[in-house]
């Protein structure tokens, strides 16, 4: 399991007073401001969200110590993490953090090894799962839904996928 969890990404500067666009990856998007200091993946830099307000498809955030557009632009595309221990405990067996899936084995319903989970993404049209295939070949990208991924077994460190039927 991952030691640090990515909870947000900073986008472009917003205005001239140092605010930034911020995309939250938490279940409750506004909760990103309640997790305490956010850090770079290596933990070398820490950031405090002083203010957060919703915008069209993101938030506008004021980060402590960032007072002008130039400083805000230097943070563009920076991913923000928190230690795993700061996240709430999940009690529901059907709920999990996406980070928990990274590195899990991927098999078909008959047990055939497909590969390993590399990432989960959402580019606006729903979640997708990226799989590194066994051996070699192109990455496999599938919809991440109950039809394609009917079983997630964190204890066994594997997921079951039902690849779409290829048509000619």
Domains and CATH numbers, the chain: 4-86 (2.40.30.60), 98-160 (2.30.30.240)
- Averaged pLDDT score across all residues of the chain: 89
Residue 116 sits at φ, ψ, to 5 deg, of: -135, 140
Q: How many residues does the chain have?
A: 168
Give the model confidence (pLDDT) of 58-102 as tens digits.
999 999 999 999 999 999 999 999 998 888 888 877 778 888 899
Structure tokens, 142: 């599938």
Whether the model clears a pTM of 0.85, i.e. scores above it, the answer is no
């Amino acid at each position: 399991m991952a030691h640090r969890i990515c909870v947000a990404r900073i986008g472009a500067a917003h205005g001239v007073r140092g605010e930034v666009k911020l995309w939250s990856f938490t279940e409750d998007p506004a909760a990103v401001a309640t997790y305490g200091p956010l850090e770079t993946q290596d933990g070398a830099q820490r950031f405090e969200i002083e203010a957060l307000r919703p915008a069209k498809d993101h938030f506008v955030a004021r980060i402590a110590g960032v007072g002008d557009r130039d400083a805000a632009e230097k943070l563009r595309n920076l991913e923000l993490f928190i230690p795993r221990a700061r996240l709430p405990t999940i009690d529901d067996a059907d709920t999990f953090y996406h980070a928990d899936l990274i590195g899990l084995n991927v098999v078909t319903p008959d047990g055939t090894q497909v590969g390993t989970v590399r990432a989960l993404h959402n580019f606006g049209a729903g979640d997708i799962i990226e799989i590194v295939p066994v051996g070699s070949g192109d990455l496999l990208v599938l919809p991440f839904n109950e039809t394609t991924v009917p079983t997630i077994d964190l204890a066994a460190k594997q997921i079951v996928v039902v690849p779409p039927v290829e048509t000619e």
